[in-house]
Amino acid sequence: MMKAMTRHVVRAGLLIVFLALPALAVEPDEMLDDPILEARADALDDELRCVQCRSESIAFSNADWSRDARIMVRELIAGGATDDEVLDFFVERYGEVVLMRPRAEGANLVLWLAAPAMLLLAGAISFGYLRGRSAARAPDEDLTAEEQARLDQLLGR
């Protein structure tokens, strides 16, 4: 009984720590006073990738570059920039790699369409293979009567 309670307490503690981690990335001195602008900045933080980490957004990264990027996002928003203008600002400087979800245009369109195209191609090949396999003749259709009798004897028919 004590083990079960301890396990639940540990799980609850880990859950609290896990849920609090995102809040640790954005420092209080980075936050905007206006809650509406801060909400926009938070949404943009999730859209931008840390160029040092490459695997996480600037919202969750503690890298120095991410901190500078979060501050720049807030400065641009406070200066009146729209969300698209903020994203364009970072894309101009760092390329499409800075976006967590690259845009489906230009060269990226090939990447966006490659997976569905490969899925359709694999489905067509599989369909053709299975259809051809089911339409194949049985191997004993071309046997002579003597060969068929020998086959039946061997198979015990």
Q: Is residue 103 in a domain?
A: no
pLDDT, mean over the chain: 82
- What domain range includes position 66? 2-98
In the three-class reduction of DSSP (H, G, I as helix; E, B as strand; rest coil), residue 154 is classed as helix
Q: Would the pLDDT of 114 be above 80?
A: yes
Using the 3D structure, point to which of 58, 80, 98 is the last residue of a domain. Answer: 98
User: In a 10 Å sphere around its CB, with 0-12 CB exposed, 13-18 middle and 19+ buried, how is residue 72 labelled?
Assistant: middle
- 25 and 62 in a single domain? The answer is yes
Using the 3D structure, point to which of 98, 132, 147 is the last residue of a domain. Answer: 98
Q: Is residue 61 in a domain?
A: yes
For the domain that residue 53 is a member of, what is the CATH number?
Answer: 1.10.8.640
Using the 3D structure, point to which of 73, 98, 123 is the last residue of a domain. Answer: 98
Sequence length of the chain is: 157
The reported pTM is 0.56
Which span out of 9-18, 97-106, 115-124 was modeled with the highest average pLDDT?
Answer: 115-124
Q: Is residue 119 in a domain?
A: yes
Strand partners, 99: 48
Per the model's pLDDT, the better-predicted residue between 61 and 15 turns out to be 61
- 34 and 93 in a single domain? The answer is yes
- 8 and 85 in a single domain? The answer is yes
First CA to last CA across the chain, in angstroms? 65
- 8 and 79 in a single domain? The answer is yes
- 9 and 79 in a single domain? The answer is yes
For the chain, how many structural domains are there in total? 2
pLDDT of residue 27: 58
Whole-number Å distance between alpha carbons of 25 and 27: 6
In the three-class reduction of DSSP (H, G, I as helix; E, B as strand; rest coil), residue 102 is classed as coil
